[in-house]
Chains A and B, each alone.
Chain A
Amino acid sequence: MADEFAKGFGILTAAGLGWMVLAGWYTTDSFEEGQLLGTPPSDPGIYGQVALMLKDALFWFAILGALTFWVIIPLINETRDALDERGS
């Protein structure tokens, strides 16, 4: 249980950190308001395109990865235990 929490938390923080850095580079117009969520540049260049895609990938990895370890895997384990208990 604690292992699963640590894995999900590690994914959330590590991927979130990467997302935050890339969003700070590419989609931050100003740190006063709307930081990290600004509009992406219209002509980012090849590196920029890669970075923007990586940013989105990291964002969803942070959310889905944490959800996987905190919700889905425990749910599967609980279901399996319940089924085992019912079967035996």
Chain B
Amino acid sequence: MSDNDTPETETDGGTGIVPPDDETPTWSERKERSQGLSRLTYEYFERARREDQDLRQESSYVERDVLGFPAWPHEMIRNLALSSFFIGMVLFLSATLPPEMLPPADASSTPSVILPDWYLYWSFGLLKLGPLNPELALLGGQKLMADRTYGVLANLVVVGVITIVPFLNKGSARRPVEQPFWAAVGVFGVVFAFTIAALSVKNLVPIGSHLLFDLTFLLPFVFGFITYAVLKSMREGYMFTLNRRYYRLRPPK
């Protein structure tokens, strides 16, 4: 690559990954990773780096800056391990617990319980919001629309809210503790998804129908408030630890 009289350029194996100076671990720091998972990862990456370096020095190819590991064997062995695991799982389960052969569907008889698939329970529950449909005094106690139309509109509203979620808050927070309010909104949504799903199967839920209806809308708020309170109270300690770690890494001059 280079003549003997010119000094060789020092590279870290040519990966192109150059950590900033104050984050580069020293050799003693690297040797401290002497046990468990950190030792394993350390050995793996060191060996991979070494193999990479040897290959580069042996090969006659022009040195390129490549960001990553070669597909063979590094990536391929991991992929094979994962695929073998899942294929083995499928074979094991189909051998030990074969699914029951049910009698064929009978089109002439209606089943006693009619429900959509479980992942659509929330939508089915939104069709049961009849008690929330207001009776307007202006219309002489009439409802503006039928309960079924109201349920369909509720579906549209919920789907619309979910659609605008990605545009709501594009902050740089990576952890819930950094933005307690939005974390609470998220918990509200998740809990509401479960309670509205429970409402849709209210015949199968062993609590009173009215209580279940109230809980459907109360529980999300309760859990949202709890989340907000907990995260808000955690934030000070979190910021303290973060700052301490930051200033330990980069001491103020």
Contacts and interface: CB of A to CB of B under 8 A. Distances in A.
A2 B96 contact: no
Contacts, number: 12
B36 interface: yes
A20 B97 contact: yes
A21 B97 contact: yes
Interface residues of A, number: 8
A31 interface: yes
Contacts of B100: 30-31
A5 to B, nearest CB: 11
Contacts of B97: 20-21, 24
A30 B102 CA distance: 10
Contacts of B99: 31
Interface residues of B, number: 6
- Chain A facing B: main interface SS: helix
Interface string A1-15: 011000000000000
A2 B37 CA distance: 9
A78 to B, nearest CB: 16
Contacts of B37: 2-3
A25 B97 CA distance: 8
A21 B36 contact: no
A20 B37 CA distance: 30
A9 to B, nearest CB: 14
Interface in A25-61: 25, 30-31
Nearest to B35: A3
